[in-house]
C-alpha cells in the first residue's frame, strides 16, 4: 500500500549519483536549517555512471577555456582532493601522461597543451620520448604531456560520504533509496513528487538524474528539444602478467573528430589496472552487458533524428568501436599503440559503464555542462565527464542558483518564498 508522506521538505534532490550527492551535501551544509531529502531509485547510491566510470580525477586539460566544464573541473578537482584528504577517501594524485604515438598527433597534442595552459593546469609539462619512458617505461611515443595534478579516487566512497555529511548537518533530512520518481506536479506552492513507494512534498526540487535527465525534465514540464542517448564503454583489465607495464595513467591524444577521449590505461585505487573504455551505442540506457536491450530506450533513441545524424557523422568510428567491442584482438591492437609489448595473456575482459550524452537534433553532443532552472526546479540536464571530478563545484553552482532564483537564505529559519 502506498505511503503518503505529507510533511513537506524545503528541497528535494532527485538522483543519487555523485552530482546529486554533491548537491545534497553542498546545499545542506550551506543551508543547515533547511530540511532536505535525496531520492534515488536504486538500492544504493552511485550505482550507474558514478560507480562505473574510470575513477579518474581529471585535471581540466581538454575543455574549452571559460566553459562550465573547464571552470568547474579545475575548481571541483581541487575541492575533491581536499575533501578526500579530509575524510579519508581512497585517492592518489599520481599524475598521467598523454602520449602522441606518431607525428600526425603532434598538432592536437600542442592544442591540448595550449588549452591546458589557458585553463591553469598546474605543473603541465611537455615531455619527449625519453620523458615518457621515465614515467612509464613500457610506453612508446614520440612526444607527450606530463599532467601531475591528474589522479585516481574511489567515487563511490566519495558519494557515500557526501550524503552522510549532509544527513549529519540536519537530522530531519532524509535519504530515500529504492524509490523511483514517476511523476512531479505543483500544488499550493509545493512540488509534489510521486515515487514508486509514496509521495513527497517539497518547496523546491533539484534534478540530477543522469541517464534519465531528459525524461524527468519533461515530466517536470521542461520543454526540452534534446534527448539523452546512452553509450556503453567496455573495459579490459591487466592480468598479473601485465600489471607491471603500467605505473599510473596513460592516455592517447584524442581524435578531435570523435566525441570521446579514446582508450586509456588507468590504475584504480584498489590496485587493479583498467584499459578502456571504447564507446558504442547501447540499446539500454542502464545496460552494462553487450547484448542488453530495452524496448523503450531503443525506440526512443532510434526514432530520434539526432541519433542518426550522430551515427552518420561518426560512421567509421562507430563501426570500428563495435568491432573492437566484440574482438579482444582488435582491442589489444589499440592498446599496443601505446604499450607494444602487451600480449593477449596480459589482458582479460573487465566491467562496463554507460555514459549519458544530451544529443541535439542535429547530432551535436551538447558537450558542455548544462544546468537550467524553471519555476521551482533546477535541472542538471547534461553532466558528462568530467562531472564526477567537478561534482562539488557543480553543487556550489546549484547553491548559487538556488539562492538567486529560489530566494533561499543562509541565516533564516525557513526557506524563502
- Whether the per-residue pLDDT at 250 is higher than 50: the answer is yes
For the stretch 251-299, pLDDT in tens is 999 887 666 667 899 999 999 999 988 888 889 999 888 899 999 999 9
CA gap 232, 242 in Å, rounded: 25
DSSP 123-170: T-EEEEHHHHHHH-TT---SEEEEETT-EEE-HHHHHHHHHHHHHHH-
358 pLDDT above the threshold of 70: yes
Q: Is pLDDT above 90 for 187? A: no
Portions of the chain given CATH number 3.30.9: 227-246+257-365
Other CB atoms within a 10 A radius of the CB of residue 75 amount to 18
Task: Give the list of residues 6+ apart from residue 82 with CB closer than 8 angstroms, or none.
Answer: none
CB-CB contact of 175 with 167 (8 Å): yes
**Stretch 109-118: mean pLDDT:** 97
pLDDT, position 8: 92
pLDDT at 416 over 70: no
Instruction: Supply the DSSP string of 265-328, one letter for each residue.
Output: EEE-TTS-EEEE---EE-SSTT--STT---HHHHHHHHT-HHHHHHHHHTHHHHHHHHHHHT-H
Return the number of other C-beta atoms located less than 10 Å from residue 304's C-beta: 17
Of 15, 92, 109, 19, give the one whose Cα is nearest residue 57.
92
Range of lowest pLDDT (2-6, 70-74, 80-84): 2-6
CATH architecture of the region 3-49+156-226+368-406: 3-Layer(bba) Sandwich (3.50)
Higher pLDDT, 51 or 399: 399
- Residue range(s) in the chain whose domain bears CATH number 3.50.50.60: 3-49+156-226+368-406
Which one of 1.10.760, 3.30.9, 2.60.120, 3.30.2010 gives the CATH number of domain 227-246+257-365? 3.30.9
Stretch among 30-39, 55-64, 322-331 having the lowest mean pLDDT: 322-331
CA-wise closest residue to 346 among 238, 222, 190: 238
pTM metric for this prediction: 0.93
pLDDT 10s digits, 126-165: 999 999 999 999 999 999 999 999 999 999 999 999 999 9
Cα(244)–Cα(42) distance, integer angstroms: 37
Average pLDDT, the chain: 92
pLDDT value at 201 more than 70? yes
pLDDT at 167: 97
Amino acid at each position: 500500500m502506498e505511503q503518503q508522506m505529507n510533511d513537506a521538505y524545503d528541497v528535494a534532490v532527485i538522483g543519487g549519483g555523485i552530482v546529486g550527492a554533491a548537491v545534497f551535501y553542498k546545499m545542506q551544509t550551506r543551508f543547515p536549517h533547511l530540511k532536505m531529502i535525496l531520492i534515488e531509485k536504486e538500492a544504493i547510491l552511485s550505482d550507474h555512471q558514478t560507480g562505473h566510470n574510470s575513477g579518474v580525477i581529471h585535471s581540466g586539460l581538454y575543455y574549452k577555456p571559460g566553459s562550465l566544464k573547464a571552470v568547474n573541473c579545475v575548481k571541483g578537482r581541487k575541492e575533491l582532493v581536499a575533501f578526500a584528504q579530509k575524510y579519508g577517501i581512497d585517492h592518489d594524485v599520481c599524475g598521467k601522461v598523454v602520449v602522441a604515438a606518431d607525428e600526425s598527433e603532434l598538432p592536437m597534442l600542442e592544442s591540448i597543451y595550449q588549452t591546458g595552459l589557458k585553463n591553469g593546469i598546474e605543473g603541465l609539462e611537455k615531455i619527449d620520448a625519453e620523458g615518457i619512458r621515465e614515467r612509464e617505461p613500457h610506453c612508446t611515443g614520440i612526444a607527450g604531456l606530463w599532467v601531475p595534478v591528474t589522479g585516481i579516487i574511489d567515487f563511490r566512497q566519495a558519494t557515500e560520504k557526501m550524503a552522510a555529511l549532509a544527513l549529519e548537518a540536519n537530522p530531519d533530512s532524509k535519504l530515500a533509496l529504492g524509490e523511483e520518481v514517476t511523476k512531479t506536479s505543483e500544488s499550493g506552492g509545493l512540488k509534489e513528487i510521486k515515487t514508486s513507494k509514496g509521495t513527497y512534498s517539497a518547496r523546491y526540487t533539484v534534478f540530477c538524474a543522469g541517464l534519465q535527465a531528459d525524461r524527468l525534465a519533461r515530466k517536470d514540464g521542461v520543454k526540452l528539444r534534446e534527448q539523452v542517448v546512452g553509450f556503453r564503454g567496455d573495459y579490459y583489465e591487466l592480468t598479473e602478467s601485465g600489471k607491471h607495464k603500467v605505473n599510473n595513467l596513460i592516455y592517447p591524444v584524442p581524435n578531435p573528430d570523435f566525441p570521446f577521449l579514446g582508450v586509456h590505461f588507468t590504475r584504480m585505487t584498489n590496485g587493479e589496472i583498467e584499459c578502456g573504455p571504447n564507446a558504442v551505442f547501447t540499446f539500454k540506457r542502464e545496460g552494462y552487458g553487450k547484448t542488453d536491450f530495452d524496448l523503450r530506450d531503443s525506440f526512443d533513441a532510434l526514432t530520434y533524428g539526432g541519433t542518426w545524424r550522430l551515427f552518420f557523422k561518426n560512421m567509421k568510428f562507430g563501426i570500428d568501436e563495435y568491432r573492437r567491442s566484440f574482438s579482444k584482438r582488435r582491442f589489444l591492437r589499440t592498446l599496443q599503440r601505446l604499450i607494444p609489448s602487451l600480449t593477449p595473456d596480459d589482458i582479460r575482459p573487465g566491467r562496463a559503464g554507460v555514459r549519458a550524452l544530451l544529443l541535439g537534433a542535429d547530432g551535436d553532443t551538447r558537450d558542455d555542462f548544462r544546468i537550467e532552472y524553471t519555476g521551482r526546479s533546477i535541472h542538471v540536464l547534461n553532466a558528462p565527464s568530467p562531472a564526477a571530478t567537478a561534482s562539488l563545484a557543480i553543487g556550489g553552482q546549484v547553491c548559487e542558483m538556488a539562492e538567486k532564483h529560489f530566494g533561499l537564505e543562509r541565516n533564516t529559519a525557513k526557506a524563502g518564498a
